[in-house]
């Protein structure tokens, strides 16, 4: 863990600034996420979106290609071409620069996602305190919000369930699941920075006995679960579908997101081919969340 922390302190980051117009947020967000940005923040009042990516992951040529992709996306969608600028930030500057844009956020009927560095406001909601660190994942992206709302529905009045959080990122879904009544969460992610962030947020919220965290993926979950939540890219979810039965109990359920609306059909067909049924499809902007249960 010490080596990871040292790497975090010495890292240099690109800050990408994209000037966006009306209705462009989802499209630009998706492109920055596909590019590999670890953090994305929308500054709606200024009509811009900020993205952050380690300098070793993106060269000048990569950034120029991203600018071209953004223009092409806008052209296909019939929207104005967004302007992309970039500058270098040291790790400490990166870690603090986006925080000014993130404020407590109500999600669903019961949850409040609150930055760890500000006082918790008076509320009757279930408070999840978060500092995503360099893993990012603040609960502001549409796919995360859809997952949180779906978890609220699944876990409402059903305390005592054991679930898996595959691709846990900062741990926001794991934390929310425990707040909503889950007995145990197995959280896994292939990124060591995500594992570190989830561990820190777990301990920050006093959930050391309820959230089990490991670096890895589906095959590292140590026991069968009642439900599974997975908010990652659709291509990875499609690869996992044949193995979900090895982890989720026979009458179990799944919440799958990170899926564009145009990818929902192929995901649904592949799930049905492996004896799963999509019981509901929730959408927000260009994104959707599949609520899945075992068929038969």
Q: What is the CATH number of the domain that holds 115?
A: 3.40.50.150
Indicate if the pLDDT at residue 228 is higher than 90: yes
Same domain, yes or no: 94 and 232: no
183 and 225: one domain?
yes
Per the structure, the count of domains in the chain is 2
On whether both 129 and 260 belong to a single domain, the answer is: yes
What is the predicted pLDDT for the residue at 291? Answer: 97
Given pLDDT bands bounded at 50, 70 and 90, which one contains residue 26?
confident
**40-68 residue pLDDT tens:** 777 777 889 888 888 888 999 999 999 99
Do residue 23 and residue 128 come from a single domain?
no
Range of the domain at 18: 2-99
CA distance 294 to 227: 11
What's the sign of the alpha-carbon dihedral 213, 219, 221, 227?
positive
Per residue in 229-252, pLDDT (tens digit) is 999 888 999 999 999 999 999 999
Q: Do 57 and 45 belong together in one domain?
A: yes
How confident is the model over 5-22, as pLDDT tens digits?
Answer: 333 334 588 999 999 887
Residues 261 and 219 in one domain: yes
Among residues 220, 119, 124, 210, which one has the least CA distance to residue 167?
220
Domain boundary among 99, 132, 156: 99
Where does the pLDDT of residue 96 fall: very low under 50, low under 70, confident under 90, or very high at 90 and above? low
Rounded mean pLDDT of the chain?
A: 88
For residues 91 and 106, give the distance between their C-alpha atoms in angstroms, rounded to a whole number.
29
Q: Strands 48-54 and 111-115, how do they pair?
A: unpaired
Instruction: Report pLDDT for 91.
Output: 66
pLDDT score, position 280? 96
The share of the chain scoring above pLDDT 90, in percent, equals 55
What is d(CA 43, CA 97) in angstroms, rounded to the nearest whole number?
Answer: 12
- Determine phi and psi for 24, rounding to 5 degrees: -95, -10
The tokens of 245 are what? Answer: 């039965």
Contact by Cβ (8 Å): 260, 286: yes
Q: Which of 67, 99, 131 is the last residue of a domain?
A: 99
Residue 7's domain is classified under what CATH number? Answer: 3.30.70.980
- Degrees to nearest 5, angle at CA 9 with 90 and 6: 155
Give residues with Cβ within 8 angstroms of 275, minimum separation 6. Answer: 245, 294, 295, 296
Does 158 share its domain with 29?
no
- Domain boundary residue, one of 46, 76, 99: 99
Question: How open is the CA angle 124-126-128, to the nearest 5 degrees?
Answer: 135
On whether both 37 and 155 belong to a single domain, the answer is no
18 secondary structure, DSSP code: E
Do 249 and 136 lie in one domain? The reply is: yes
pLDDT the model gives residue 7 = 34
Same domain, 68 and 143: no
Say if residue 294 is exposed, middle or buried (CB neighbours under 10 Å; 0-12, 13-18, 19+): middle
**Cα dihedral value 268, 271, 276, 282, nearest 10:** -30
Q: Which of 150, 166, 121, 181 is nearest to 278 (CA)?
A: 150
Residue 99 has pLDDT above 80, yes or no: no
User: Are residue 134 and residue 243 in the same domain, yes or no?
Assistant: yes
77 shares its domain with 106:
no
């Amino acid at each position: 863990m010490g080596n990871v922390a040292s790497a975090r302190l010495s890292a240099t980051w690109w800050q990408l600034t994209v000037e966006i117009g009306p209705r462009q947020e989802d499209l630009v967000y998706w492109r920055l996420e596909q590019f590999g940005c670890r953090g994305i923040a929308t500054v709606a009042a200024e009509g811009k979106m900020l993205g952050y990516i380690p300098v070793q992951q993106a060269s000048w040529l990569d950034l120029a290609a991203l600018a071209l992709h953004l223009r092409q996306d806008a052209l296909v969608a019939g929207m104005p071409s967004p302007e992309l600028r970039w500058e270098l930030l040291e790790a400490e500057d990166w870690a603090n620069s986006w925080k000014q844009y993130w404020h407590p956020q109500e999600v669903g009927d019961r949850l409040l996602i609150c930055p760890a560095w500000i006082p918790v406001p008076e509320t009757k909601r279930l408070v999840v305190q978060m500092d995503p660190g360099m893993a990012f994942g603040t609960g502001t992206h549409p796919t995360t919000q859809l997952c949180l709302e779906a978890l609220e529905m699944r876990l409402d009045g059903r305390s005592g369930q054991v679930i898996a959080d595959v691709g846990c990122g900062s741990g926001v879904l794991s934390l929310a699941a425990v707040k909503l009544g889950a007995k145990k969460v197995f959280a896994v992610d292939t990124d060591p920075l995500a594992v570190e962030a989830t561990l820190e947020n777990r301990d920050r919220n006093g959930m050391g006995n309820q959230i089990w965290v490991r670096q890895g993926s589906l095959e590292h979950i140590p026991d069968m679960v009642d439900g599974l939540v997975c908010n990652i890219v659709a291509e990875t979810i499609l690869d996992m579908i044949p193995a979900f039965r090895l982890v989720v109990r026979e009458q179990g359920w799944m919440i799958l997101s990170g899926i564009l609306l145009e990818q929902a059909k192929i995901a649904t067909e592949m799930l049905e081919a492996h004896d799963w049924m999509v019981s509901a499809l929730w959408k927000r902007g260009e994104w959707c969340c599949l609520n899945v249960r075992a068929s038969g």
